[in-house]
Structure 1
Amino acid sequence: MLAEIDTWVLDLDDTLYPSSNGLADQMKALIRGILSRHFGTDDAGARRIQAELIAAHGTTLRGLMTTEGLAAADILEFEHHIDYSVLRADALLAEAIAALPGRKFVFTNGSAYHAEQALARLGLSDHFDGVFDILAGQLIPKPYPESYRRFVEQFSIDPSRAAFFDDLAVNLDVPEQLGMATVWVGGEPAPGTAPYEVVAPRRWRVWELAPFLHSLTAPAVRPSTM
C-alpha cells in the first residue's frame, strides 16, 4: 500500500492530535480576543469580522495585516498564551511516523513556533524533516494553490511520490490535482467501522491515524505452510 511514496506531508492541528482536546478552540478564542480589542467589539462582532477577513483574505492573520496594517509578530503573539499542556505524547503515533520510509513534513496554516510547541508535547519533534508554516507560505494559506506550490518548490517535492494528510477535505483538492496521494483524517466512523477506508485509488478516509500509518509499514503476513 502506497509503496511508491517517499514523502509524507501531514497537517498539524486536528490531524496529528484529535480535536477533542480543545486546543483549536483555545486558538479561536484567543484570536477573537485580538479582534475584540482591536475593533472594540464583543465576541459576536469578533466572529463576524473574523468570518469576513477569512472570506476575503484566507486567514485572519493575512486580513489584519492587509486591512489594518498590523505586524505578523504582534498578531501571532497570541500563540504564547496557548496552554499546550492539553496535548499528550502519543507513542503509537510516534512509532508509526518513524517507520515511514523517506522524508516527513508538517504543513500548517499556523506558525513554526506553534508547530514546535505542539510537536514537542506530542513527542514528535524528532520525526519530521521540516515544517512549512504560514510565514513560509508568505501568508497565503491552504487551500490556495500558491501555498502548495511554494512548499513543493522549497523542499523539492515530487508530487507523484508524496502523500498529503489533512483534517479538512478542501485542503486535499490541490494536492490531488498535483498528483499526490491524499488522506482525509478525522470524523466519526460508524460503529464497528475499520480505522480507515479506501475512497478511490490513492485516496483514503482515516478515522484513526496511528493504526493507518502502521498498516502501511506492517510486514505482510505469509500463510502458514504447515
Structure 2
Amino acid sequence: MPLPRQPIWLFDLDNTLHDASRHAFPTIDAAMTGFIADALQLPDADASTLRVAYWHRYGATLLGLIRHHPHVDPRHFLAHSHPLDVLTRSVHPMPGLARTLARLPGRKYLFTNGPHDYAEAMLAALGISHHFAGVFSIESARYAPKPQARAYRTLLRQWQLDPRRCVLVEDTAANLKPARRLGIATVLIRKGTRRSVWADWQVPHLAALAGRWSHRR
C-alpha cells in the first residue's frame, strides 16, 4: 500500500511515543490490581491473576470487568488505575520524539486504548500536545479497544477522515489488521527481522519514521 502524499497520522501512545514499560505500565498494573482487590474483595494475588486473565481473554482488563462485574463503574476503574500525579512524575519519551513529530507533515491524532485524561496528561508531560489535533481514547469508542474494528470505524467517523489518507503507527502488530482492512496504511515499530503481514512498513524505532517518510515521498 503506498504511503499517502498528504498523510493523516494516527499514533498509538504507550510504547510508541513513550517507553511505558519503564514506569507507566508497572504503575497502572499495580493500581488496577488494587482496584480489583477492593471492588471484588479479593486478595492481591488473586486480583492480579484476574487482571491478567481478563487482559488476555478480552484484550483489556476493563472489558472483563464490564462483562462479568456490571456493578463496577468503568469511569471509576479508569480513573483509579491511572493515577496521573504518579504517572507524570517520571516520563520516558522515545528518542527523537519531538523532532520526529515536527518533521512529519500532516495532521496527527492520538489513537489509544488508554483513558482520555491519561492520554492528555501524557502528551502534556511529554511536551508534544501541540502536535496533535485530537485524542481518541477508550471512552471515545464506548470502551471498545483496539483491535476491535468498531474503534477504528468510530474514529474515522468522528473526525470524518478518509482511511486512504491515514497512516496508523503502532508497536502492537495485532492492532494493524483492522486498519489495513479499512484501507489505512500501517507502520509497525519493532526491532529485529520478524515481520508482520499487516504492516506496510516496519521501522526499528520511532526516530526512523521521519526518514522513511522522506525517502518514500
- List runs of 5+ in structure 2 lacking aligned partners: none
Matched, 1:87 2:87: no
Q: Following the alignment from structure 1 to structure 2, what is the Cα–Cα distance between the partners of residues 189 and 22?
A: 24
Secondary structure (helix, strand or coil) at the match of 2:96 reads helix
Q: TM-score, normalised by structure 1?
A: 0.82
* Residues 4, 166 of structure 2: 8 Å contact kept: no
Matched, 1:178 2:178: no
Matched, 1:9 2:38: no
Q: Deviations over 1:30-52 (max 9, x none)?
A: 11111112222233311332244
Query: How many residue pairs get matched?
Result: 213
Higher radius of gyration, 1 or 2:
1
1:1-226 map, 5 Å: 2-54=3-55, 57-66=58-67, 67-78=69-80, 79-80=82-83, 82-88=86-92, 92-186=96-190, 188-189=191-192, 203-217=200-214
Q: Following the alignment from structure 1 to structure 2, what is the Cα–Cα distance between the partners of residues 219 and 55?
A: 37
In percent, how many aligned pairs have the same letter?
31
* Residues 58, 140 of structure 1: 8 Å contact kept: no
Q: Following the alignment from structure 1 to structure 2, what is the Cα–Cα distance between the partners of residues 219 and 53?
A: 41
* Residues 144, 151 of structure 2: 8 Å contact kept: yes
**Which amino acid in 2 is paired with 1:209?**
L
Q: Following the alignment from structure 2 to structure 1, what is the Cα–Cα distance between the partners of residues 201 and 20?
A: 19
**Which amino acid in 1 is paired with 2:72?**
L
**Aligned pair in 2 of structure 1 residues 52, 89: CA closer, same or farther (>3 Å)?**
closer
Q: Following the alignment from structure 2 to structure 1, what is the Cα–Cα distance between the partners of residues 176 and 26?
A: 23
RMSD of equivalent CA atoms: 2.7
Shift of 1:95: 2.3
**Aligned pair in 2 of structure 1 residues 152, 202: CA closer, same or farther (>3 Å)?**
same
**Aligned pair in 2 of structure 1 residues 179, 42: CA closer, same or farther (>3 Å)?**
same
Q: Following the alignment from structure 1 to structure 2, what is the Cα–Cα distance between the partners of residues 114 and 205?
A: 27
- List runs of 5+ in structure 1 lacking aligned partners: 191-196, 221-226
Q: Following the alignment from structure 1 to structure 2, what is the Cα–Cα distance between the partners of residues 6 and 97?
A: 13
**Which amino acid in 2 is paired with 1:207?**
P
